[in-house]
Amino acid sequence: MNRRHLHRIKRRDTIARWVIKTGGIGVIFCVFGMLALIASTALPLFFPAKASPVAVAPGAADAGATNGTLAVLVDDDRLAVWSLRADGTAELREVGSGKLLEKKRIRPDGADRKIVACEAAGAQNFSLLWDDGAALAVKVEFKAATAADGIKSVTCGVRTLWRVQRPEGVTDGGINAKNGRTEERKNGIKDERKNGRAEQDVRNTPDVHDTRNAHSAAACQAVALRPGDEGGAPSTTVACPAVALRPGNEGGAPSTTVACPAVALRPGEEGGGTQVWHLADGNFLVIREKTESDPMGEEKTTRAQFTVETAAEVTAWTLSRDGGMLYAGSASGGLMRWDVTGGKAELLDRTRLLAAGRGVTALGLVFGDLSVAVGDSAGGVTVWSPASIYGPDGAKHLALTHTLAAHKSPVRRFFFTQHDKGVLSLSDDGVLHVSHMTSERLMLELAGISPAAVPALSARGSSLCALGADGRTALWSVRNPHPEVGAKVLFGKVWYENYDKPELVWQSSSSNDDAEAKLSLIPLLFGSLKATFYALLLAIPLALAGALYTSQFAPLEVKAVVKPAVEIMAAVPSVVIGFIAALWLAPKLEAGILSVAVFAVALPLVFIVFMLSWMRLVRPTALGRRIDKGWEFAVVAPVLLGAAALAWWLGPLAERLLFAGDFKLWLFREAGWRVDQRNSIVIAFALGFAVIPVLFTIAEDAFSNVPKSLKAASLALGASRWQTVWRVVLPGASPGVFAAIIIGFGRAVGETMIVLMATGNTPVLDWGPFSGMRTLSANIAVEIPEAAAGGTLYRVLFLSAVLLFVLTSVLNTAAEVIRSKLRKRYAE
């Protein structure tokens, strides 16, 4: 053999060695890689939000503080920033260059009129109160356009939805006798507000000119012009509406028209709407107009006007977007809620913040208009929702459902995301918190914001703009993809809207958009454990006893049949087991549920009777002695079948005699248990069937590995077969048996198809044997088709996969360690 040939052989050998080594160790990386990938997909759920500042204009300051900026807005693509000034003008500036794109007056008719109060109603709607008593409901709309060359541009339109005039007779601190009466009028003409015009024929309202040439306006919750400041110069400050803003306090300048510090307008969809005027005496004046078309096409307008007595010093208030609910908070920490949909105000709640000595400084309604966010003078932020706290049938009262991260100084104002339950709060010291109501997580904290103007979040929540402390408009791009999930949501009780107490719920999707996603993993974990518990309840005794018998008592020819049979059992695809369980076993069990119960009772009885008669009658005979060693199972099988047949026959009889012919009805009446068709008993059989081979094989292995010498010694000392097994084999094999149970547990927890098909997949927290469950694994299979890649649900499902991975890994590793110890013990 020449040297080159030898050299080649050696080189090949070295290469092969390295390839095999890499491949072998590669398996470790496979496992870690899998875990790393799943975990890295799930991890962003717990990241905080990110905000990166974007410069609106380089160079010179745009001097927002000195020109009285009331509110700012930004579009989703951060192309332009819109701002509203107290002098009634609105301007649009390009982001980046700072170029002024547009500057317009909101009111074409009031050239020298000023805005004295500005209230934000949801996304980009504002109610503006002017110093001549006019009030406008305006909506700001960004229109993005993409030019042929791909450059995006944005224009901004301000639509006046509704215009009203301060009601007649509303003077400083009171209203005249006309209030509180309802009248109806026929209108006849078509309401054109739907077309973007504001031609509402409202009494006391001056004719409104065509407002199609939209003006600009912006908003804040409560802006008040301080009258008497150096001759009405355009210096405005923003304050809570009722804080010390008593018109006339400082000499009544510029005029008596500032009889109410703020107004909230909610135009209705059909026409009319709700006006709420906050009067100087602390009460509210509510005017509701409703226009309805009758079948003849005639329009009928209903008008109601009434006062809401507050009997408290109102320091913050807000009105729901449909104009039906009025909320107010007082300086002494009181929180009130009125239903104003009827002809009068109905006080629904008069409650108190929990901590004493705190006054309400800000109020706002979380998206969906069900929960109210309350900011107090100590900086606390709480969320209150209506709930039946005094029993399921009682009226709903405001209850403290969430406590969000507190500020260090009084909360000045709230604003909200418009697609989920995000709560943004701004405090007096200029700190902005981006929190989420459901998860109670503080996602982001930004400092250095002037509390003077209303900040805003763009429609999709991707941009945030505010008036900076330096008086310039500040802009951030925000990434806040998963605010609704946190450890508390996933594993703790959460008080959801429309629930009467904190609960553990999994309900990933709902019928309407503004409902919270309920993503508690506890019901699913519970379901997994419940299914596993019932399966193991059946599988452990059967598999262990069967394995013990096979390894210790059965003759070789029996083993030669039993072991392949168990392997066949292990090979049955789980989809087949699930299918049989759901479509064959479940209906049969449902029909004969009592027969199963009878069988559970009859089996031991029949077995005892059989044992006694066998021992006394058959065993002493020659036939008995021949049969019994190792073939007991074959003898006992017909007995089991007999017991089953007996139970099948007795079940209906017992049902008729004991339970008036309907066991399920009896069970529901007596125990309150509903019998689902796909229940835990079905799972016990189906999942048990899947787990038995695993348990059986490993346990049989452990029993067989106990050295023969130990058994021989025991038998030689005079112990019986059973005594030897019970006292010698079982203790020796116990670690292996334990490992078998652990591995069986892991297998049952992770099984998917069987539970997917045979459980009904309802995520309930109920240990009862007659109800179903939804397991972690089945949940993944059920929900992943609906989960958008990268979305919250998608990541939560990955998180549940991580849970399953870690759980089974820990169990399997533990079992492997135990088994290898056992192997070493008997290796000598």
Partner 1 sequence: MKKTTNSLQRGEPFIWMGGAALALILLTVILMLGVVLANGAGAFWPARLSLLELKDGSRVLGEVTRRQAETPHSAERLQIRVGNRDMYGADFRWIETTAIKAESYPPDAVWAERMEHGPFIGFVKTETKSGAAAMIVLADASGREKTLTAGQVVRLYRPNAMSFQAKFGLYLARLWELLSGQPREANTEGGLLPAIIGTVMMVFLMSIFAFPLGVMTAVYLREYAKDGWAVRGVRIAVNNLAGIPSIVYGIFGLGFFVYGVGAGIDRLFFADKLPTPTWGTGGILWASLTLSLLTVPVVIVATEEALGAIPPGVRQASLALGATPLQTLTRVLLPMASPGIMTGFILAMARAAGEVAPLMLTGVVKLAPSLPLDGSFPFVHLDRKFMHLGFHIYDVGFQSPNVEASRPMVFMTTLLLLAIVLVMSGTAVWLRNRMRKRYAGGAF
Task: Please compute, for residue 117, the number of CA atoms within 13 A of its CA located in the half-sphere on the CB side.
Answer: 31
State which H helix or E strand residue 154 sits in. Answer: strand 152-165
Nearest Cα to Cα of residue 635 among 643, 647, 646, 624: 624
CB of 546 vs partner 1, minimal distance in Å: 4
CB of 565 vs partner 1, minimal distance in Å: 6
Sheet of 334-339, strands arranged across: 314-319, 325-330, 334-339, 346-352
Give CA separation, 146 vs 95, 98, 142, 374, in Å. 16, 20, 13, 41
CB of 26 vs partner 1, minimal distance in Å: 7
Residue type at 511 in one-letter notation: S
Among 461, 696, 759, 773, binds partner 1 (CB under 8 A): 696
Looking at beta carbons only, is 355 or 810 nearer to partner 1?
A: 810
Among 326, 801, 818, 822, binds partner 1 (CB under 8 A): 801
Among 100, 244, 447, 576, binds partner 1 (CB under 8 A): 576
Looking at beta carbons only, is 57 or 748 nearer to partner 1?
A: 748
Among 72, 504, 577, 796, binds partner 1 (CB under 8 A): 577
Q: Is 582 in the site for partner 1 (CB under 8 A)?
A: yes
Asked if the bond preceding 735 is cis, omega within 30° of 0, the reply is no
Among 46, 553, 659, 666, binds partner 1 (CB under 8 A): 553
CB distance 104 to 89 below 8 Å? yes
CB of 743 vs partner 1, minimal distance in Å: 7
Question: Helix (H, G, I), strand (E, B), or coil: what is residue 563?
Answer: helix
**Range 733-772, binding partner 1 (CB under 8 A):** 743, 746-747, 749-753, 756-757
Instruction: Return left, alpha or beta for 316; rule: phi > 0 is left, psi -120 to 50 is alpha, else beta.
Output: beta
CB distance 470 to 477 below 8 Å? no
Looking at beta carbons only, is 150 or 295 nearer to partner 1?
A: 150
CB distance 475 to 78 below 8 Å? yes
**Nearby residues of 286 by Cβ (< 8 Å), 6 or more positions away:** 274, 275, 276, 277, 304, 305, 306, 307, 308, 326, 340, 345
**Range 11-40, binding partner 1 (CB under 8 A):** 12-13, 16-17, 19-21, 23-28, 30-31, 34, 37-38
User: If you write DSSP's letter for every residue of 739-756 in order, what string do you get?
Assistant: HHHHHHHHHHHH--HHHH
Q: Is 554 in the site for partner 1 (CB under 8 A)?
A: yes
CB of 553 vs partner 1, minimal distance in Å: 6
Angle, helix 680-704 to helix 522-552, in steps of 10 degrees: 40
**Range 85-144, binding partner 1 (CB under 8 A):** none
Among 652, 707, 768, 769, binds partner 1 (CB under 8 A): 652
Among 84, 328, 374, 566, binds partner 1 (CB under 8 A): 566
Q: Is 569 in the site for partner 1 (CB under 8 A)?
A: yes
The C-alpha angle with vertex 560 and arms to 559 and 565, in degrees rounded to 5, equals 90
Among 145, 177, 571, 622, binds partner 1 (CB under 8 A): 571
Looking at beta carbons only, is 354 or 657 nearer to partner 1?
A: 657
Q: Is 809 in the site for partner 1 (CB under 8 A)?
A: yes
Looking at beta carbons only, is 405 or 644 nearer to partner 1?
A: 644
**Range 431-460, binding partner 1 (CB under 8 A):** none
DSSP state of 47: P
Q: Is 671 in the site for partner 1 (CB under 8 A)?
A: no
CB of 714 vs partner 1, minimal distance in Å: 13
CB of 395 vs partner 1, minimal distance in Å: 43
CB of 805 vs partner 1, minimal distance in Å: 5
Residue type at 785 in one-letter notation: P
Give CA separation, 133 vs 70, 260, 276, in Å. 18, 9, 13
Among 176, 255, 723, 734, binds partner 1 (CB under 8 A): 723
Distance, CA of 140 to CA of 628 (rounded, Å) = 91
Beta bridge partners of 329: 316, 335
Q: Which two tokens stand for residue 351?
A: 């409650």
Among 43, 575, 605, 665, binds partner 1 (CB under 8 A): 575
CB of 672 vs partner 1, minimal distance in Å: 23
User: If you write DSSP's letter for every residue of 708-740 in order, what string do you get?
Assistant: HHHHHHHHHTT--HHHHIIIIIHHHHHHHHHHH
Alpha-helical segments (H) within 614-729: 622-658, 663-671, 680-704, 708-716, 721-724
| Torsion angle of C-alpha atoms 400, 405, 406, 410, degrees rounded to 10 | -90
CB distance 675 to 770 below 8 Å? yes
Looking at beta carbons only, is 494 or 755 nearer to partner 1?
A: 755
Question: If DSSP states are collapsed to H, E and C, what string results for 234-267?
Answer: CCCEECCCCCCCCCCCCCCCCCCCCCCCEEEEEE
CB of 25 vs partner 1, minimal distance in Å: 6
User: Residues 618-637 vs partner 1: string with x where CB under 8 A?
Assistant: --------------xxxxxx
CB of 142 vs partner 1, minimal distance in Å: 25
Among 284, 327, 770, 798, binds partner 1 (CB under 8 A): 798
Q: Which two tokens stand for residue 324?
A: 């039906």
Looking at beta carbons only, is 128 or 581 nearer to partner 1?
A: 581
CB of 152 vs partner 1, minimal distance in Å: 19
Residues in the interface with partner 1 (CB under 8 A) total: 108
CB of 736 vs partner 1, minimal distance in Å: 15
State which H helix or E strand residue 821 sits in. Answer: helix 792-825
Among 354, 395, 447, 572, binds partner 1 (CB under 8 A): 572
CB of 583 vs partner 1, minimal distance in Å: 6
C-alpha radius of gyration, the chain, whole number: 38
Among 375, 430, 546, 763, binds partner 1 (CB under 8 A): 546
Looking at beta carbons only, is 347 or 715 nearer to partner 1?
A: 715
Q: Which two tokens stand for residue 219?
A: 């908003």
Q: Which stretch binds partner 1 (CB under 8 A): 146-154, 364-372, 383-391, 606-614?
A: 606-614
Count of helices and strands (H, E) across the chain:
16, 33
Distance, CA of 467 to CA of 796 (rounded, Å) = 36
Looking at beta carbons only, is 545 or 712 nearer to partner 1?
A: 545
**Range 199-218, binding partner 1 (CB under 8 A):** none
Q: Which two tokens stand for residue 665?
A: 């009805």
Among 259, 452, 811, 818, binds partner 1 (CB under 8 A): 811
Among 198, 260, 517, 797, binds partner 1 (CB under 8 A): 797
Q: Is 548 in the site for partner 1 (CB under 8 A)?
A: yes
User: Residues 355-394 vs partner 1: string with x where CB under 8 A?
Assistant: ----------------------------------------
Distance, CA of 680 to CA of 589 (rounded, Å) = 11
**Range 57-86, binding partner 1 (CB under 8 A):** none
Among 611, 617, 645, 658, binds partner 1 (CB under 8 A): 611
Looking at beta carbons only, is 633 or 666 nearer to partner 1?
A: 633
Looking at beta carbons only, is 533 or 805 nearer to partner 1?
A: 805
Among 541, 555, 642, 731, binds partner 1 (CB under 8 A): 541
Looking at beta carbons only, is 320 or 550 nearer to partner 1?
A: 550
Q: Is 804 in the site for partner 1 (CB under 8 A)?
A: yes
Q: Is 682 in the site for partner 1 (CB under 8 A)?
A: no
Task: Please compute, for residue 728, the number of CA atoms within 13 A of its CA located in the half-sphere on the CB side.
Answer: 22
